[in-house]
Chains A and B, each alone.
Chain A
């Protein structure tokens, strides 16, 4: 049986920021979403990449000194899983406790 990749709330926040933007690096994502932490952003991006929801590449900039930057972009699977999560959230909003419709 094929395992279904899980998605945490924080990972979903990252996907939300990547949708609509071409490529972002960690600091740009944090500036857009202050609920994300600097210490964990790259760990979470690494996990999302392992799951196949985001892809990354090293940005090569001529005439720019300093450490190389790795930018992240959302994949098709990432867009699909985000839409599925949003649909699930919408569906759950219409149900109250004990299976009653709201």
Chain B
């Protein structure tokens, strides 16, 4: 409550500045008059009393400044005064202003670009996921090794059925495989539970996401999701590959394309997750 009071008081002070100043003037005048009167009563001459009272009050403007400094609004006023002074100075020196603008504008632009790139590639590698702050990773603990290990499939299924603290639980395992036409090396793939994209609330650009039946034992037809980058690079944006009904003979899978809204998201996701996902 004191914080709220200070805020309201400061706000009021901003709009009732003249009245507050007048009150302070009157109060300090009254302080001086009373001090003089009291000193005369103790037997001092008027002149001596006035001098003593003035010394007691001190520098009136300094006292006023200290009173004005109470509260947050004084900082706001001071900031506004500085801004106005800066604008006046810049207007008086147009050449300096122009040079400063020519140096500062591209510099700020360059730094902003570099920081944005750094943020997207290093600080936010989970881009493409709707709400990163709600994603947690669940590990098992090996009692003898005292270190984090992955969960077995039965453990995952038990947790997925019983865990109440999470909205959904998905599991995955990274593998490296060689696709039929892999001329230039192995392809990283991620094997995952069918609900993976639903749990991460990621949307697909084309086709459909996995269904529960897709990762059941003996699923009728294997399916996979590929990244937009792989779709463009390896399959030349073949629309047939992303159609729900058609299958790729090469992969013997239905190919669905994971939509990653911006190119930098896609790059970050690829670097972390590989570029083919299968249940």
Is chain B found bound to chain A in the same assembly?
A: no
User: B residues bordering A, Cβ < 8 Å?
Assistant: none
